């Protein structure tokens, strides 16, 4: 197979494939960050995480329609507004869900899993009833279309670059919020010792609600970014939930660096293998490898030493 290409062609294919992997990596990181916060920091299994993501995607879709209808002048920058709104919508729904459902289930993680699965079914049907069963896409502003030609053969799509930049910003924001802010300190204190955190005056219930909301809000941003590279349907969230969970578990729950590292490994492995075999076999092999490694090393790649 390799013999058919010249060396130059081969390296550019590798570069393009690597770049496709980087875009996949960015989306994985965006999706997994929210989950890493909810699952890693709080120990809650949120099976509806994909649906929070789709909520963000639909908010972006609505925004693109409203902007083109009423304020076409804003069109070049509507994406930033849409992203903020997606965050707010997903955050609000997240806090609501935490208040109405999750807070009763903190001691029963398996039951959280089932309850949030029920929530995801309901949300899916809501999307289907409101937006129809067909997949929808958004129109990108002109400056996001097209690609930059690095050499004759290597072209880099601008929307991919944008998603990557966004991922970088969101990752740093999450890092600062969790590890450099007073509120982040409270979150980590609650994670390490809930009772003592409460005893020193931290409102653990409020921290829980906001942490869950933050995780969901980031899922909303991920969904918004997702519209840039693909179309959105009511059941799209379910397609990614297992991948996302594997990313988080593989990285080691509770470790943000681990999440990013595992997202990188999985996405690069998958996109590289996709070049050599069919997409479905590449996915099977990637997932099998991840499951295999998890069987040998259940704690994931990176671990935090936490006394529970």
Partner 1 sequence: MQSPMHSDSTFFSRQGWLSFVVLAAILLLVLPAAFDIFRLNLIGKYLTYAFVALGLVLCWGMGGILSLGQGIFFGLGGYCMAMFLKLEASTPEATKIQSTPGIPDFMDWNQLTELPVWWQPFHSFGFTLVAIIAVPALFAFVIGAAMFKRRVGGVYFAIITQAVAAIMTILIIGQQGYTGGVNGITDLRTLLGWDIRTDDAKLILYFVCAALLLGCVLLAQAINISKFGRLLVAMRDREDRVRFSGYDVSNFKIFIFCLAAAFSAIGGAMFTLQVGFMSPSFVGIVPSIEMVIFCAVGGRLSLFGAVYGALIVNAAKTSFSESFPELWLFAMGGLFIAVVMAFPNGLAGLYREHAEPWLRRLLKRSVARPAVAAAANTAN
Which residues lie near partner 1 (CB under 8 A)?
A: 43, 45, 101, 104-105, 108-115, 117-125, 128-129, 238, 242, 245-246, 249, 278, 280-281, 283-284, 287-288, 290-291, 294-296, 298
- Phi, psi torsion values for 46, nearest 5 degrees: -105, 95
Q: How far is the CB of 110 from partner 1 (least distance, A)?
A: 5
Nearer to partner 1, 225 or 290 (CB): 290
- Whether residue 220 contacts residue 52, with contact meaning beta carbons closer than 8 Å, is answered with yes
- Whether residue 186 contacts residue 207, with contact meaning beta carbons closer than 8 Å, is answered with yes
Q: How far is the CB of 115 from partner 1 (least distance, A)?
A: 4
Q: Is 203 helix (H, G, I), strand (E, B) or coil?
A: coil
Q: How far is the CB of 108 from partner 1 (least distance, A)?
A: 8
Nearer to partner 1, 63 or 273 (CB): 273
Nearer to partner 1, 166 or 247 (CB): 247
Nearer to partner 1, 160 or 300 (CB): 300
- Phi, psi torsion values for 121, nearest 5 degrees: -65, -45
Q: How far is the CB of 151 from partner 1 (least distance, A)?
A: 35
Nearer to partner 1, 114 or 145 (CB): 114
Q: Is 2 helix (H, G, I), strand (E, B) or coil?
A: helix
For residue 232, the cross-strand partners are: 136
Encoded tokens for 201:
């005056």
Other Cβ atoms less than 10 A from the Cβ of 76: the count is 13
Q: How far is the CB of 170 from partner 1 (least distance, A)?
A: 24
CA 95/CA 101 separation, integer angstroms = 10
């Amino acid at each position: 197979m390799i013999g058919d290409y010249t060396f130059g062609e081969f390296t550019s294919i590798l570069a393009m494939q690597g770049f496709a992997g980087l875009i996949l990596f960015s989306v994985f990181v965006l999706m997994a960050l929210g989950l890493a916060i909810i699952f890693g920091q709080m120990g809650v299994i949120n099976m509806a995480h994909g649906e929070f993501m789709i909520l963000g995607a639909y908010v972006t879709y609505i925004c693109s329609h409203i902007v083109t209808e009423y304020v076409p002048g804003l069109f070049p920058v509507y994406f930033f507004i849409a992203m903020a709104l997606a965050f707010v919508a997903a955050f609000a729904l997240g806090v609501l869900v935490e208040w109405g459902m999750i807070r009763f289930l903190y001691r029963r993680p398996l039951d959280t899993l089932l309850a949030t699965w029920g929530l995801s079914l309901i949300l899916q049907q809501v999307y289907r009833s409101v937006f129809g069963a067909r997949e929808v896409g958004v129109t990108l502003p002109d400056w996001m279309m097209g690609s930059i030609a690095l050499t004759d053969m290597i072209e880099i799509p601008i929307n991919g670059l944008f998603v990557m930049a966004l991922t970088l910003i969101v990752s740093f924001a999450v890092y600062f919020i969790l590890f450099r802010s007073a509120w982040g300190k409270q979150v980590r204190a609650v994670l390490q010792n809930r009772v003592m955190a409460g005893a020193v005056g931290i409102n653990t219930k409020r921290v829980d609600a906001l942490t869950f909301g933050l995780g969901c809000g980031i899922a909303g941003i991920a969904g918004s970014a997702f519209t840039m590279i693909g179309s959105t349907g009511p059941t799209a969230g379910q397609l990614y939930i297992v991948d996302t969970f594997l990313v988080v578990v593989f990285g080691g729950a509770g470790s943000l660096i681990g999440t990013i590292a595992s997202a990188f490994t999985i996405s690069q492995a998958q996109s590289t293998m996709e070049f050599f075999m069919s997409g479905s076999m590449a996915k099977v092999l990637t997932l099998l490898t991840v499951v295999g490694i998890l069987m040998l090393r259940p704690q994931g790649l990176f671990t935090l030493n936490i006394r529970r």
